[in-house]
Amino acid sequence: MNLVIVESPTKANTIQKFLGSDYKVLSSFGHIRDLPKNELGVDVENDFTPRYVIPPKAKKTLSALKKEIKKDTKTILATDEDREGEAIAWHLSEVLKLEKPERIVFHEITKTAIKEAIQNPRSINMDLVDAQQARRILDRIVGYKLSPFLWKKVAKGLSAGRVQSVTVRLVVEREREIEKFVPQEYWTIEALFKKENNEFKTTLVKKDEKPIDKLDIKSKKEADEIVSDLEGAQYKVINIEKKETKKNPFPPLTTSTLQQEAWKRLRYPAKFTMKIAQDLYEEGHITYHRTDSVNLSKTALFSAKKFIEENYGENYWSGYLRQYKSKGRTQEAHEAIRPTYAENAPEKLKLDDKHLKIYKLIWQRFIACQMAQAIFDATTIDVDAKNYGFRTTGQILKFDGFLKIYPMKFTEEQLPDLEKNEVLKLVKILPDQHFTEPSARYNEATLIKALEQNGIGRPSTYAPILSTIQERNYIEKNEQRRFKPTEIGFVVNDLLVEHFPEVVDVDFTAKMEKELDEVAEGKDTLVKTCKDFYTPFSKNLKEKYKEVSKSDITDKPTDKVCPKCGSPLIEKLGRFGRFYACSKFPECKYTESLPENNLGIKCPKCNKGKIVEKRTKRGKIFYACNQFPKCEFALWDKPINENCPKCDSPLVEKAKNIKCSNKECDYRLTKNKDVR
């Protein structure tokens, strides 16, 4: 019997269908062993040797795998082709005591790919394993050494991370840019013309043959002077330029661009997108979804060509096999994310709505990247008036090309037929006031893009990074679903920036990622990489325990008095925000919400307490009575100071509606109308 071990039961079921009865495919259900949960688990004094343990949840799986391994069993390790997959294969080899396991990798779960991999096994790549171990050890050192420092100096339950802390810094620094931003006034001037029944606008772009930049017209006074100067002017067409412009399709998707596009088009968070992609890969619908390469195999390119020509016509194919080149340090042997079969158009697959949307995005991007350019007829018209110059541009889609299956926003504007030296009929001059705006807060797509551009983490880590820093309550999403730091996020970031600058330095983190890549390539070692970081970090940490005072960071005196013991109340900072606490803690454990957290609404259950805003351990906001645990009234949605006219339960805000909090009542208020 040939035993094949993969990490996922879904993947096991898919591969079993291809291999038949001569093979038995089983799953390890992920990692079979890991560093211990409640201790560092790394011997920093002995070449950073990790101490691995078998988690309780893996013991049953391990026993089942051991029963399948006999003397004549050939064991094949078929975990994913990245560092994590290589490490899982190595751990399995160590724990199962496999003498000469065969290691196979494949980029897609198809019968051809699996059979070819079986015929071309290799040994476990220890360089990849060491790179994974080095990353795991470094992350464990930062997490288990720096997090207790935060507990002692800020608040319990906080955490620091080698990559997550740098990500928080990006969000904090963007927020500070926004806070410091001073809007700058500027004006634009347009001229509205009419020819027959067509009206069109032109924009002032030059004066005295010198270009007018965006911020050159700084006030209404300057704008009015120009408008006054243009009175009685003749507007003459001095140049008409018509040309054909072409737009190229985008490259196929990588892990990063998949996460970005899924957010832009579907509003799917990165973590959710990767879960759906994992399912699609394991079911054999797409190629491996953790990749930073835009490379495509010749087989894939020819299959796309065939599909395009058969379904859309030869003029829709690009005319050549279009290859894309990856930027930075990528594994060119890997492929971009693509459908395993080009002919499997989305409508052919029986998938639920969420899986279908992600598959459609991947399929469309892949097919589109091999399609012809979109062609536009573009027109530019220059108009002179005295010593001023105006310009307008328009474009009309001539041939849709790749846009046929990969729709994108673009503006079409048909300009009237004009002739050179033609005098135009002015309708009016339109001066318009504007103000510069700060950089936008990050959303899922733009933060992932910033991580990639700065070399922070790797594509497979983006989703867990974003998820972790939200769960830790360092950042949160506002109503526009953009990231904003919480108060605890500001405090922790500022503490780390001041006292542990190397941990949150963008360039330092990017350099470490390159070192990990070099370990994977056999150019550096696990021990040296860990030692180079740990030696100065450990020395600095010891000094900061003595130097940094918690009260200087978190506590603020108040003029309030504890109602229980009469001692002064102080304003403290906890993991989920500020609150009042007795200065005699732990002798007196009285706490009280800050006024801004108190909604001023009487509790409908006990009629004694007030409704206050609170957070769960994972940082999710809810609303509860401040008399807890005496009163356990709580709501997820924000209550308003009104009761339901139908059942007298509290009304709550939900999206654009006002609804009754009672699930048995269907009352809601939408757009100022009662809906029953």
Strands 102-103 and 42-43: unpaired
Please indicate, yes or no, whether residues 281 and 344 belong to a single structural domain of this protein.
yes
Length of the chain: 676
553 pLDDT band (50/70/90 cuts)? confident
38: left (phi over 0), alpha (psi -120 to 50) or beta: alpha
- Is 136 among the domain residues? no
Please indicate, yes or no, whether residues 564 and 666 belong to a single structural domain of this protein.
yes
- Is 140 among the domain residues? no
676 pLDDT band (50/70/90 cuts)? very low
201 contact partners, CB below 8 Å, separation of at least 6: 190, 191, 192, 193, 392, 430
The crossing angle, in degrees rounded to 10, of helices 270-282 and 9-19 is 20
CATH, residue 506: 1.10.460.10
> Tens of pLDDT along 23-51?
999 999 999 999 998 899 999 999 999 99
Share of the chain above pLDDT 70, in %: 97
231 pLDDT band (50/70/90 cuts)? very high
Q: What is the pLDDT of residue 675?
A: 40
Higher pLDDT, 135 or 641: 135
Q: Which of 418, 435, 452 is the last residue of a domain?
A: 435
Determine whether 388 is an active site residue.
Answer: no
Phi, psi of 632, deg, nearest 5: -105, 20
pLDDT at 575 over 80: no
Sheet architecture: strand order including 102-103: 23-27, 2-6, 74-77, 102-103
Please indicate, yes or no, whether residues 110 and 22 belong to a single structural domain of this protein.
yes
Cα separation, 476 vs 575, whole angstroms = 13
Q: What is the pLDDT of residue 595?
A: 75
Q: What is the pLDDT of residue 432?
A: 97
Cα separation, 120 vs 25, whole angstroms = 18
Strands 74-77 and 2-6: parallel
CA–CA distances in Å: residue 342 to residues 55, 294, 359, 368: 41, 16, 12, 11
- Is 95 among the domain residues? yes
CATH, residue 58: 3.40.50.140
- Is 137 among the domain residues? no
627 contact partners, CB below 8 Å, separation of at least 6: 603, 606, 608, 609
pLDDT at 333 over 70: no
pLDDT at 302 over 70: yes
CATH, residue 278: 1.10.290.10
Q: What is the pLDDT of residue 509?
A: 92
> Tens of pLDDT along 447-495?
999 999 999 988 889 999 999 999 888 999 988 999 999 988 999 999 9
Residue with tokens 């004094």: 45
500-521 residues labelled b (16+ CB within 10 A) or e (exposed):
beebbbbeebbebbebbbbbbe
Q: Where are the alpha helices (DSSP H) in 325-373?
A: 353-368
What's the maximum distance between 2 C-alpha atoms anywhere in the chain? 100
Q: What is the pLDDT of residue 459?
A: 85
pLDDT at 598 over 80: no
Contact 558, 571 (CB under 8 A): yes
pLDDT at 544 over 50: yes
Going through 463-615 in order, the beta strands assigned E by DSSP cover 475-477, 483-485, 556-561, 568-574, 577-582, 591-593, 598-602, 610-615
pTM of the shown model: 0.83
If residue 6 lies in a helix (H) or strand (E), which one and from where to where?
A: strand 2-6
Which residue of the set 235, 281, 288, 359 is catalytic? 288
331 contact partners, CB below 8 Å, separation of at least 6: 291, 292, 293
74: left (phi over 0), alpha (psi -120 to 50) or beta: beta
Q: Which of 336, 368, 400 is the last residue of a domain?
A: 368
Q: Cβ atoms within 10 A of the Cβ of 144, count?
A: 17
Please indicate, yes or no, whether residues 174 and 190 belong to a single structural domain of this protein.
no
If residue 651 lies in a helix (H) or strand (E), which one and from where to where?
A: strand 650-654
148: nearest Cα among 140, 158, 138, 135? 158
670 pLDDT band (50/70/90 cuts)? low
Q: How many domains does the chain have?
A: 5
Please indicate, yes or no, whether residues 27 and 81 belong to a single structural domain of this protein.
yes
Residues of the domain holding 241: 185-248+374-435
Residue with tokens 């399709």: 249
Contact 516, 509 (CB under 8 A): no
- Is 382 among the domain residues? yes
